[in-house]
Chain A
Amino acid sequence: MSSRDLILARIRAAGATPAGGVPRAYRGAGAPADPDLFVDRLTDYRAEVHRCAPDAVAATVATILPPGATVAVPPGLPAGWLPAGITALPDDGLTADRLATVDAVVTAAAVAVAETGTIVLDGSPDQGRRILSLLPDLHICVLRPDQVVAGVPDALTRLDPRRPLTWISGPSATSDIELNRVEGVHGPRHLHVVLPAGPPA
Chain B
Amino acid sequence: MSRTFLGMPATAPPGVGHLRGDEPFPAAARRALADPQLRRNLGHATTTIRAKSGAVIAELPDWQQLRDAGSAIKADVMARLPELLERLEAAVTAAGGVVHWAADAAEANRIVTGLVRATGHDRVIKVKSMATQEIGLNEALEAAGIEPVETDLAELIVQLGHDRPSHILVPAIHRNRAEIREIFLRAMPGVDLDLTDDPAALAGAARRYLRHTFLTTPVAVSGANFAVADTGTLAVVESEGNGRMCLTLPETLITVMGIEKVVPTWQDLEVFLQLLPRASTGERMNPYTSMWTGVTPGDGPQAFHLVLLDNGRTAVLADEAGRAALHCIRCSACLNVCPVYERTGGHAYGSVYPGPIGAVLSPQLTGVADNASLPYASSLCGACFDACPVKIDIPSMLVHLRDAAPHPRAESAAMAAAAYTMDHPRLYAAAQRAARLSRLAGPRGRGLPPPLSGWTAGRDLPEPPPQTFRDWWAAR
Contact = CB atoms under 8 A, between A and B. Distances in A.
Interface of A: 1-4, 6-28, 41, 45, 96-97, 100, 113, 115-118, 123, 129-131, 134, 151-153, 156, 161-188
- Which of A20, A129, A177, A183 has most B Cβ within 10 Å? A177
Given A16-B317, A97-B215, A123-B296, A166 B285 contact: no
With a 10 A CB-CB cut-off, give which of A22, A97, A172, A173 has the most chain B CB atoms. A22
23 contacts: A3-B102, A7-B310, A10-B8, A16-B323, A25-B62, A25-B69, A45-B284, A134-B244, A151-B274, A152-B274, A161-B233, A165-B291, A166-B291, A169-B288, A170-B287, A171-B287, A174-B239, A174-B240, A176-B172, A178-B48, A186-B206, A187-B240, A188-B241
B389 to A, nearest CB: 12
A15 B79 CA distance: 8
Contacts of A151: 274
Nearest to A128: B299
Given A14-B318, A178-B44, A4 B101 contact: yes
Interface residues on B, range: 35 or more
Given A15-B318, A179-B170, A1 B7 contact: yes
B300 interface: yes
Interface in B190-213: 199-200, 202-204, 206-207, 210-211
Contacts of A41: 284
A171 B81 CA distance: 37
Interface in B147-193: 151-154, 157, 169-170, 172-173, 176-177, 180
A69 to B, nearest CB: 20
A178 B82 contact: no
A179 B101 contact: no
A135 to B, nearest CB: 8
Contacts of B151: 186
Contacts of B95: 162
Contacts of B78: 16, 19
A27 B62 CA distance: 7
Contacts of B393: none
Given A13-B8, A164-B291, A184 B65 contact: no
B240 A18 contact: no
Contacts of B244: 130, 134, 166, 186-187
Given A176-B239, A178-B176, A186-B214, 13 more contacts: A7-B259, A10-B9, A11-B82, A13-B318, A22-B76, A97-B215, A153-B270, A168-B287, A169-B288, A172-B288, A178-B41, A187-B244, A187-B288
A165 B241 contact: no
Contacts of A16: 78-79, 81, 317, 320, 323
A4 B221 CA distance: 21
B360 to A, nearest CB: 17
9 A-B pairs with least C-beta separation: A187-B241, A186-B241, A9-B7, A185-B240, A10-B314, A167-B289, A116-B285, A176-B154, A14-B317
A21 B71 CA distance: 11
B157 to A, nearest CB: 7
B69 A22 contact: yes
A11 B318 CA distance: 8
A189 to B, nearest CB: 8
Nearest to A177: B199
Given A7-B103, A16-B79, A130 B240 contact: no
- Chain A CB within 10 Å — which of B8, B239, B269, B300 has the most? B239
Contact of B231 (A129, A162, A167, A183): A162
A25 B285 CA distance: 21
A180 B102 CA distance: 37
Contacts of A180: 48, 199
Contacts of B157: 176
Given A7-B308, A184-B207, A185-B207, A14 B240 contact: no
Nearest to B237: A167
Interface string B266-277: 110111011000
A38 to B, nearest CB: 11
B10 A175 contact: no
Given A161-B293, A184-B200, A179 B270 contact: no
B293 to A, nearest CB: 5
A175 B215 contact: no
B45 interface: yes
B287 A173 contact: yes
Interface in B315-352: 315, 317-318, 320, 323
B284 A115 contact: yes
Nearest to B318: A14
